[in-house]
Amino acid sequence: MAELPTLHRLDELTYLLEHDLRVYLRYSPGPEADAGHPSKDHESGLLMPGVSANPLWPPHWWTRPPADWVARKVCQYLRELHEGARPWVLTGREIDFGPDNEPLLVDLEPIAWLSADLVREAQQRYQAELNAGQATHAG
């Protein structure tokens, strides 16, 4: 597999969304480690039919800047960094949904790694622009 480029700034990542590219975020050892085997549901022990990933594009109701949404998504799974995972972006074909309603992808096309600087910038924006950690309430 060819060496993936690395994105260093949040605006580089957000720029990918401006071209209607269905971009997903994944925390894992990387594309080579993920090739050839799907994700596993850790609670049931079952293999899923694809690799779990999180969509990066904002939903239609989101009226804030797209970079706020992207920063939020980057920060959603930071705990996995401590488990040896690295963040990277990809495209793929959605085949089903995982236990957290995340898309499961096949036909993966890796795009780029996310640098530690980009992750820090996302954390700073998430903390500065949003009520980070607040629960979503109905109503």
> How many angstroms separate the CA atoms of 47 and 78, rounded?
23
> C-alpha angle 20/25/30, rounded to 5°?
125
Could you tell me the pLDDT band of residue 6, with boundaries at 50, 70 and 90? very high
Average pLDDT score, the chain: 89
DSSP one-letter code for 138: -
> How many angstroms separate the CA atoms of 116 and 10, rounded?
11
For residue 36, the model assigns a pLDDT of 77
Predicted structure pTM score:
0.87
For residue 38, the model assigns a pLDDT of 84
Could you tell me the pLDDT band of residue 122, with boundaries at 50, 70 and 90? very high
Between strands 103-114 and 6-7, the pairing is parallel
